[in-house]
Amino acid sequence: MRARRSRGLAALALLASAPAAAQPPAAGPFNATAPENRQVLPAFSYATVEPVLAQIGARYERAGTDAQPALTLTFINGRRAAILFGSCLGSSCRAISIQAVWNAPPGVAAAQLANAVAGFNQRYAFSRAFIAADGRPSLQRYLTADFGFIRGNLAVNLIVFAGQIDRFVTEVIQAPLQAAPPAATTPSSGAPSTAAPTPAANPAAPRRRPDGSEGASGS
């Protein structure tokens, strides 16, 4: 699983630097009552996934290779992601990984970023957030089509993932830094003491004799 994730992230990095191909015009918004939503896609491929992307208003570009097909896409909300095809036999694939990756936000400690990612996973179960081996925060949704996949369900998965990217950017990538409380300082030996001074003894106060009686000062 870890090796598959590493290969996927490496492929996604290559997609980010791939030259842009001609993009089809965006369509949309998504029509939830369209009859084609009930169609069963026999497998994942360019031929079955691209029409769904156009249906939800996403722009896409083909990338990768014949052996490892992939798509870069921009959702209608402007968020970018990639679709990596897996378990392929020829042009038909039984799985896709929808992924988005960001550079680590500057000025954020690794532990703080890890806590933010863990909190995101606790709040949302739809996709999985994690930090890649190179330190980049990532978001992933993995789908399988061993026995086909409903076209409308694929559209909904993509739309919800676009919304998850919005939440991830707001709650993890762009979350304001929590100001750490100032550390308590220990006064040095040469620093003036802030403790209340001990009052000096009053020489006129009566003194107690060993037998318990009191006498005048000096007696």
Is the CA virtual torsion 21, 26, 31, 34 positive or negative?
negative
The predicted structure's pLDDT at residue 116:
94
pLDDT at 209 over 70: no
What is the DSSP pairing of strand 137-144 with strand 128-131? antiparallel
pLDDT at 208 over 80: no
- Give 130 or 20, the one with higher predicted confidence: 130
Q: Which domain holds residue 164?
A: 2-18+36-173
- Give 3 or 173, the one with higher predicted confidence: 173
Give the whole-angstrom CA distance, residue 141 versus residue 96.
Answer: 8
Average the pLDDT over 5-12 and give the result: 49
Which residue type, as a one-letter code, is found at position 123?
R
The predicted structure's pLDDT at residue 198:
52
pLDDT in tens, 135-177: 999 999 999 999 999 999 999 999 999 999 999 999 999 875 5
Residue 109 placed within a domain: yes
Residue 178 placed within a domain: no
Residue 30 placed within a domain: no
Q: How confident is the model at residue 180 (pLDDT cuts 50, 70, 90)?
A: very low
Residue 126 placed within a domain: yes
Predicted model pTM: 0.70
Strand partners, 87: none
Average the pLDDT over 26-41 and give the result: 85
CATH number at residue 122: 3.30.1460.70
Residue 149 placed within a domain: yes
Length of the chain: 219
> Does residue 29 sit in helix, strand or coil?
coil
What is the domain count for the chain? 1
pLDDT in tens, 39-97: 999 999 999 999 999 999 999 999 988 889 999 999 999 999 999 999 999 889 999 99
CB-based burial of residue 60 (10 Å sphere; 0-12 exposed, 13-18 middle, 19+ buried)? buried
Residue 207 placed within a domain: no
Give the whole-angstrom CA distance, residue 79 versus residue 166.
Answer: 7
Residue 23 placed within a domain: no
